[in-house]
Amino acid sequence: MTLNKLRHPIFGPKTEKARKLFPPAPVPPSPKDPKSKRKGHGRNKASQYTGARRLKVTHPTLKAQDPCRECPQGTLHPVKSPGLVIRVVGSPPISATVWELEKLRCDTCGTVVIMYFRQFVVHNL
């Protein structure tokens, strides 16, 4: 006797299907207005971390008025908007740190020098 033949007298015939008992819910019409679609990819801007500790990080070897490394006649100048790195730590209570990485821009070739972040992390761990 097979398992299926044994199951029939015990549980009865299989006549009810789940899809017949519980038909799928009607699919709501998709929104045609593109403005209703949420923007972004779940990331937050650095400005949204209002309670975050902010640290200014200067370049370890370069400063404003230094000669550019990429061209012979350029000079580095500070850039207003710093490079931002956000690190959110999940220990209770949650806290965040925003590092403002100094950026220097050459006035001749436009090269932007920013401090290498991995180096910064290693020094602060």
| Contact positions vs Zn ion (CB under 5 A) | 68, 70-71, 74, 106, 108-109, 111
Q: Which residue is nearest to Zn ion (CB)?
A: 74
> What's the CA gap between 79 and 101, in Å, rounded?
10
Question: b/e map of 84-99 (b: 16 or more CB within 10 Å)?
Answer: ebeeeeeeeeeebebb
Q: How near is the Cβ of 70 to Zn ion at its closest, in Å?
A: 5
Q: How near is the Cβ of 104 to Zn ion at its closest, in Å?
A: 10
Residue 45 contacts residue 52 (beta carbons within 8 Å): no
Q: How near is the Cβ of 115 to Zn ion at its closest, in Å?
A: 17
For Zn ion, the closer CB: 95 or 108: 108
